[in-house]
């Protein structure tokens, strides 16, 4: 009985997928892809610095992390790369 329900679910998924038109995103140029890659890297770096800042105990280490966070925010705000 479980197999019957499973196959009906698969059939329903196939039908619904064929009913909805696929929405393809246009391909990115090399420059756009590079910018997206850079932005993603900066956002991940920012997230990592924030996580480290939450647990940092040493005052000097916190200061370095705060400066790194400020630098990342500046880069993300300008987006001139």
pLDDT in tens, 9-50: 777 777 777 666 666 778 989 999 999 999 999 999 999 999
Domain contains 36: yes
Domain contains 5: no
Domain contains 11: no
In this predicted structure, what is the pLDDT of residue 10? 75
- In which domain, by residue range, is 53 found? 29-81
Number of domains in the chain: 1
Q: Rounded CA gap, 12 and 72, in Å?
A: 47
Q: Rounded CA gap, 27 and 23, in Å?
A: 12
Domain contains 60: yes
Does residue 72 surpass a pLDDT of 60? yes
Does residue 7 surpass a pLDDT of 70? no
Structure tokens at 68: 């790194």
Can you tell me the mean pLDDT for 47-64?
98
In this predicted structure, what is the pLDDT of residue 61? 98
């Amino acid at each position: 009985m479980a197999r019957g329900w499973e196959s009906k679910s698969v059939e329903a998924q196939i039908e619904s997928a064929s009913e909805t038109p696929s929405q393809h995103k246009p391909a990115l140029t090399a420059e756009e892809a590079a910018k997206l890659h850079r932005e993603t890297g900066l956002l991940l770096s920012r997230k990592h610095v924030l996580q480290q800042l939450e647990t940092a105990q040493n005052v000097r280490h916190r200061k370095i992390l705060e400066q790194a966070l400020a630098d990342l925010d500046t880069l993300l705000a300008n987006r001139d790369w």
